[in-house]
Structures are given as C-alpha cells and as structure tokens.
Amino acid sequence: MLSLPGGKTVNAVLEVKKLKKYFSTTKGVVKAVNDVSFSITPGETLGLVGESGSGKSTVAYTVMGLYQPSGGQILFQGQDVAISHHKRKRILKKELQIVFQDPGSSLNPRQTIENILALPIRLHDRDYKKGIAEKVQEILSLVELPVEYMEKYPRSLGGGEKQMVAIARALATNPSLIVLDEPTSALDVSIQAKIIHKLIEIQQEKNLGYLFITHDLSLMRNIAHRVAIMYLGRIVETAPAQQFFETPYHPYTRMLISSIPVVSSEEEKLKPGKIPSMGEIPSPVNMPAGCVFHPRCVDRMPICDQEEPINFEIKPGHWVKCHLWSPNK
C-alpha cells in the first residue's frame, strides 16, 4: 500500500525493496545492483535511466527472475517473488512480461508470427482452443499490424514491426506489468515515436504498469510518470517526471539533463546550466568510498569521499541521494 499526495492510498503492482545483485568474477565481486528500491502502481510508467553499466538492465532481469537476487525483496501484487524464473508460479509468469531491446534475437526465426503469438496464449489461457486464431488477430489489431502478418516470419519484417510483434507477444498473456528494456534504442526516431505512442495508448486502455529502461532521457518526457536515475548500481534521484526536468537536484542528474540535445533556444532555457562531464565511470569491482559519484562531481565536498549519502525526500515524491541536500550536512 502506497501513500499519495492528499492522503490517498493505492496498491502497488510492483515494489522493489533494497534489491541487491552481485556477481563474482576473477577480479572480485561486481555489485551490479546495490540497495535499489522503487515501486510502480497500475497505469504508471517508471522510467529507469542510466549510462551503460549503471545496472538498469540487471534490475530488469532480476525483477523478471532471470537473475537470482543477492538480497532484498521483490513484491509483485503484495507477494514476495524474489526467486528464479523457473521456480515461479505460472500465474506470475502470466502477469509479469518483458520486451527485450533486440526483437531480432528474441523472436524465433523459424516460427510464423501466428505461432509466436499463439504460444503464450496456449500456455496461459485455458480457453485457447476456442478461437485461438481470433485471439491472435485481436492482439495484432491492438498493435496495429495487419492480419496478413500472421503468416509472415520475423526475417521478413522491419525493426519496428518486429518490436511491435514482441510487444504483442507480451500483451498476449494479458499482464499487469511489462518490463520494457530499451525497446526503441535500435530504431529510427520516427519508428520510436510510433512505438511510444502505441505503448501509451495500450497502457491507458489496459491500466498497465511499465518499467521503462533506457539511457535516453529525452524519451522520459513523453512516456514516464516518474523517473529514477541509476549510477553504479544505485538510484541517486527519483521524482515525478515534470518536476524531475524542471528542478533536478543531484549533480549527476543535472549533468545528464544538460547534455540532452535541443533544437530551439526556448528548450535550451529549460535546461540547467552546462555542467561538464568529468572523468569516467569507475570500475564496479573497485568502487570509490563514500559517494560513488564524487570522483566526477563538480560540487564534491570533503564528506563525499568518506560517507555514502542517505536517500532524502527533498520534496513530496522527490528523493535525492546526495550530501548537498542531506539534512545532516
């Protein structure tokens, strides 16, 4: 149960609490996800944003059960599901779906589109024998693909069409939440816009929750209700989308937003002052002490390389993990 402004409460479809995922390597332990917490309510999109190597896809795969978590909780509709995928109940697999970044590698090239979409229906719909072809046609219509595509193979489709099929496959089980792992990163801008528009339309129709993972902050303006920024396995700032772009607080967030390309002087005025990108992301095997961002931070203070900052709610729903805004500074 989550509290909203005005005293309202709503049940979260997904709650992640202090999630950890560590990998052992020959060079040491990689803390890919370290103490990550967030929630998603029905009909809401949480945008999880970060540079390559920040841990955002590891969060997605751990939520889906593809990775066994090293610690923390994953609560789906109130039930703890922090177990591997093959141990999860069928009803959970039906309710929680994922769309991968590259549909070319996630769609079986030897199966027709009809067979690809029919498989999840057979697995999760007890009445599938009653008109399975009609169900496939209905799902294709939902993503605006012609019925004739049922007989096609993935190799005969364009990148955007393949991703629409992947989205249709996720929708075939009538889920409550879909994890979207950079679903538009390999597509042209015009195709990206079409897919984003369709995802929003489907969400409004079916009251779906989305965990939208991307490295592209500009996408978040159009699809996310809330945005969470990841850096080296940690979420450093979370805020409602509009507030996030208008008043970013964490130095890393301001650095990312200041680097977003714009096409007009009006858009440029909305961005924070230009903040230089300093240094490189440290190795996840040998992380800095204190705040993990301090080697690249223009606002670092002596405390930053000694103590890890707490997660502080600077405004209702706006959380920042930075010593600059800590009440104890």
* More reliable by pLDDT, 126 or 57: 57
pLDDT per residue over 251-304, tens digit each?
A: 999 988 887 765 445 545 555 666 666 777 888 888 889 999 999 998 999 999
Question: Residues 153-168: what's their mean pLDDT?
Answer: 93
Query: What pLDDT sits at residue 4?
Result: 45
pLDDT above 70 (res 20): yes
User: What is the predicted pLDDT for the residue at 277?
Assistant: 67
Percent of the chain with pLDDT over 70: 89
Q: At 14, is the pLDDT very low, low, confident or very high (cuts 50, 70, 90)?
A: very high
Least confident of 41-50, 226-235, 266-275: 266-275
The full set of domains in the chain, from first to last, is 2-325 (3.40.50.300)
pTM, two decimals, is 0.90
Answer for the pair 240, 75: CB distance below 8 angstroms, yes or no: no
